Amino acid sequence: MYRMIVRELGGPASLLREEIHSISARPGEVVIDVKAVGCNFFDILITQGKYQVRPELPFSPGAEVAGTVREVGEGVEGLSVGDRVSALLDYGGFASAMAVPRGRVFPMPAGMTFEEAAALGLVYQTSYVGLVRRANLREGETLLVHAAAGGVGLSAVQIGVALGARVIGTAGSADKLELVKRNGAHAVINYRDESWVERVRELTGGRGADVIYDPVGGDTFDKSMKCIAFEGRILVIGFASGSIPSAQMNRVLLKNISLVGLHWGLYFKENPRVLQEAQEALFSLHAEGKIAPLVSETYPLDRASSALVALGSRKTTGKIVLIP
């Protein structure tokens, strides 16, 4: 058993392998033999000390894992040794085995692979909770998804289509735009084209998008303010551009728009039932064939630094998954 840890903040290159000699389940915990780990952009930020969650050193990144139950602690109900499960974490998932609180563990549906379960975890949760609970996306509305070819973007495209929205996706190359279309988007736009704001207006008959899903921030957010519909909602997911924007509040006032934030992990503390219901809904959508995580690449867990460098290059599509 081993885990990849950060002893000094220095980005993905600071990840080191550390052997694990024993793990036991305390009351209310489940020990999981990890079979797959999902990578996310914030895994890069947390190794740099730039994420809102700042664990004490040393620590492991990783917020979504899938595997089999090795041991159940006292008081744990509904799970048995050998069960196939996924788990959602704050951090700590870059490991071949780990102990997880029962409330963060979900039985996997039959037929779902470990790679799919790890890839479906956080990004699909983020998109579902963001679009359904926070932005209240309704059937027939127009959803604009930025960075739509990435893991979080593709999940938003698929969920938006499943909810009956008209989805427009932005990406930065022809092959990524084609990928977004294959995942259900009704229209695609190259965000490198300076006229993409005007293109959104054209596609919406001058009205603008009802909901804009923004994991990028920076200039993308600023320009999104120019193509949001009356009573539209801009869903702030993150700042992959590295730039945190400031809103011109007169624009918020003039079009009656809402700026809606999503700190997904906070629901574990404030209202964990939201995440349980979201996971149940996502598993149902997967069973119905309405969503399907795209695992574009897999890396051995001990090459986690290379995987995060690839993710940070913004040249990847879908999800990168680590295999212990």
- Does residue 58 have a cis bond before it (omega within 30 degrees)? yes
Scan for tokens 């700026």, then name that residue. Answer: 259
The Cα–Cα gap between 226 and 248 comes to 11
Element spanning 123, H or E: helix 122-128
Contact 94, 17 (CB under 8 A): no
Residue 132 exposed, middle or buried by CB count within 10 Å (0-12, 13-18, 19+): middle
pLDDT of residue 158: 97
CB atoms within 10 A of CB 296: 17
Compute CA distances 56 → 6, 62, 90, whole Å.
10, 15, 13
Residue 49: HSE in the Cβ half-sphere, 13 Å Cα cutoff? 9
Superfamily of domain 124-265: NAD(P)-binding Rossmann-like Domain (3.40.50.720)
Q: Please give the CATH number for the structural domain made up of 2-120+294-323.
A: 3.90.180.10
Query: Helix, strand, or coil here: 272?
Result: helix
| pLDDT reported for residue 80 | 96
What pLDDT is attached to residue 194?
87
Tell me whether residue 77 is exposed, middle or buried, using C-beta atoms within 10 angstroms of its C-beta: 0 to 12, 13 to 18, 19 or more: exposed
DSSP conformation class of 61: -
For residues 156 and 224, is the Cβ–Cβ distance under 8 A? no
* Ramachandran angles phi, psi of 5, nearest 5°: -125, 160
Give the predicted TM-score (pTM) of the model: 0.90
Instruction: Please tell me the predicted confidence (pLDDT) of residue 239.
Output: 85
Which pLDDT belongs to residue 18?
97
CA dihedral 48, 50, 51, 53 (to 10 degrees): 80
Helix axes 174-182, 151-162, angle to 10 degrees: 40
Q: Residue 101's CB: how many other CB atoms inside 10 A?
A: 15
* Residue ranges covered by each domain of the chain: 2-120+294-323, 124-265
Helix (H) or strand (E) holding 224: helix 218-224
The tokens 């460098």 sit on which residue?
309
Do the Cβ atoms of 95 and 62 come closer than 8 Å? yes
Residue labelled with tokens 């005007």: 198
Tell me the two tokens of residue 203.
């596609």
| pLDDT at residue 265 in the model | 85
Half-sphere exposure of 154 (CA within 13 A, CB side): 24
Mean pLDDT by 10 residues, the chain (324 residues): 96 96 95 97 92 92 97 96 96 97 94 94 94 97 96 95 98 94 97 94 97 95 96 93 86 94 91 93 94 94 96 84 97
d(CA 276, CA 112): 18
Angle between helices 41-48 and 304-312 (to 10 degrees): 110
For position 119, what pLDDT does the model report? 93
Common-topology check for domains 2-120+294-323 and 124-265: no
Could you give the CA distance from residue 294 to residue 300 in angstroms, rounded to a whole number? 18
